[in-house]
Amino acid sequence: MTEPLRLSKRMSELGLCSRREADEWIAKGWVRVDGQVISELGSKVLPSQTVTIERQAAAQQSKLVTVLINKPMGYVSGQAEDGYQPAVTLVKAENRWSEDGAPLQFHPTQLRSLVPAGRLDIDSIGLLVLTQDGRVAKQLIGETTDVEKEYLVRVQYDRPGRLPDNQLKRLQHGLTMDGKELLPAKVRWQNDDQLSFILREGKKRQIRRMCDMVGLKVLGLKRVRIGNVKLGDLPVGEWRYLGADEVF
């Protein structure tokens, strides 16, 4: 027989919201199981039961924003550390891209619970996603995510000649990190000193460590795409809203 699950966990699994949002909605009486309002935290449900949310929850969720930043070097993705500013400090009215077509008005309340969905090293630049929406965060950094992330990486080979083809193949598949084999990656030359990496995972400093294993030194790293969403012409240090028609 199937074991019952915590309602908040089941709601997250169904992609309705994050667990934190689920607990908030349950406490407010905005969640129904098989048509019955459930307002007790910690309640459990069977996978076969139908979970629905009230319109107040859907309305609250529709106000949640997701922001795309072209992160410059010298900013950290999350919490401030070692005197470095977090990327969220760039999200202010004067840094909004003038060509952002989203009909939203910026308001400081949008900074509440605006957190990075994935990370980008302090010395890397490019597309960083900040979101208030637990569904977006789960899609991009959840355990089962398979959303592609594309990077342009300027490299220098630390041995005579050019990187051998068999080492390029190792970058594509065959490297082990932290005792675990890496998922297959798409790696190809863009030009003489720049590689394109397309990954479906994001271990800490993964690309730099991969390059180090085959004798390549990373001189510059820029993320240009996450899923179907591209960095495009967004200027460095500026941000825009995720468009209503854009999905990762």
Same-domain check for residues 57 and 70 = no
CATH number at 97 reads: 3.30.70.580
pTM of this structure:
0.80
pLDDT at 72 over 80: yes
| Model pLDDT, residue 80 | 76
pLDDT at 168 over 70: yes
Same-domain check for residues 103 and 203 = no
Residues 210/175, Cβ–Cβ less than 8 Å? yes
pLDDT at 78 over 90: no
Confidence of residue 143 (pLDDT cuts 50, 70, 90): low
Average pLDDT value for residue range 110-117: 89
Same-domain check for residues 234 and 135 = yes
Same-domain check for residues 127 and 236 = yes
What is the separation of C-alpha 64 from the centre of its chain, rounded to a whole number of angstroms?
16
- The answer to whether residue 104 sits within a structural domain is yes
| Model pLDDT, residue 144 | 65
Q: What is d(CA 195, CA 151) in angstroms, rounded to the nearest whole number?
A: 8
Long-range own/partner contacts, residues 203-212 (CB < 8 A, 24 or more apart): 203/177, 203/178, 204/119, 205/121, 206/177, 206/182, 207/151, 207/153, 208/121, 209/177, 210/171, 210/175, 210/177, 210/182, 210/185, 211/153, 211/155, 211/171
Domain end, chosen from 44, 62, 80, is at 62
Which domain covers residue 235, as residue numbers?
A: 66-144+230-241
pLDDT at 1 over 60: no
Confidence of residue 145 (pLDDT cuts 50, 70, 90): confident
Catalytic-role residue among 23, 34, 82, 121: 121
pLDDT at 26 over 60: yes
Is position 34 annotated as part of the catalytic site?
Answer: no
CATH number at 32 reads: 3.10.290.10
- The answer to whether residue 171 sits within a structural domain is yes
- The answer to whether residue 168 sits within a structural domain is yes
Same-domain check for residues 120 and 70 = yes
pLDDT in tens, 227-242: 999 999 999 999 999 9
- The answer to whether residue 248 sits within a structural domain is no
pLDDT in tens, 44-63: 999 999 999 999 888 877 78
Q: Is 161 exposed, middle or buried (0-12, 13-18, 19+ CB in 10 A)?
A: exposed
| Model pLDDT, residue 20 | 83
Total structural domains within the chain: 3
pLDDT at 194 over 90: yes
